[in-house]
Amino acid sequence: MADEKRTLLELCGSVEHVTYHNDKNQYTVLDLATEAGVATVVGMFPFVSEGEELLRDMAASTIKMVTESVDAYVKHDTMLAEKVIAEDDIVDGWFDRVKHTLIRRMTADPGEGERAVDLLMIAKYFERIGDHAVNVAQWVIFSVTGTHKEG
């Protein structure tokens, strides 16, 4: 349990870089900022419960947003930037679903409370990463059009 908690706390760091992601099998390599420095997380995310399955889908949506916001920046693509901004509603929806699922989980089994709170923190960080992707997309639009689009 201590190793699992330490791993979850490391995941609560900010994503520095998504090196590789394969949607088909959820194999991912992430570089995360932690208090101890940058940690590299490699492998599949073996989620088993409903809340954790939702979290995996949320992570995939967030990674997509980050990738597309960087692509929009490199290509000066305002249409792709607009798509990223619209996708934020999807990630926000995932967060709400994860939150409500974890609340039900804690209510049904109070012993799961600590793990559920850790997972909720991870979901909140994914939601914030999506917000940062939106910020990049907004500045792509500004750099091309001269108009700053508020979220």
Is residue 89 pLDDT above 60, yes or no? Answer: yes
Element containing residue 41 per DSSP (H, E): strand 37-44
Per 3-state DSSP, what percentage of the chain is helix, strand, and coil (rounded to 5)? 70, 15, 15
Is residue 31 pLDDT above 80, yes or no? Answer: no
pLDDT for 9 equals: 43
Round to whole Å and give the CA distance between 26 and 145.
36
Q: Are 27 and 44 contacting, i.e. CB atoms less than 8 angstroms apart?
A: yes
pLDDT for 50 equals: 60
Q: What is the pLDDT of residues 108-135, one digit of tens each?
A: 888 888 888 888 888 899 999 999 999 9
pTM above 0.85, yes or no: no
Q: What is the pLDDT of residues 36-59, one digit of tens each?
A: 555 545 454 443 456 667 887 888
**pLDDT greater at residue 40 or residue 61:** 61
Round to whole Å and give the CA distance between 84 and 114.
33
- DSSP secondary structure of 8-28: HHHHTSEEEEEEEEETTTTEE
**Position 32 confidence tier, pLDDT thresholds 50, 70, 90:** low
Nearest to 12 by CA among 113, 122, 116, 131: 122
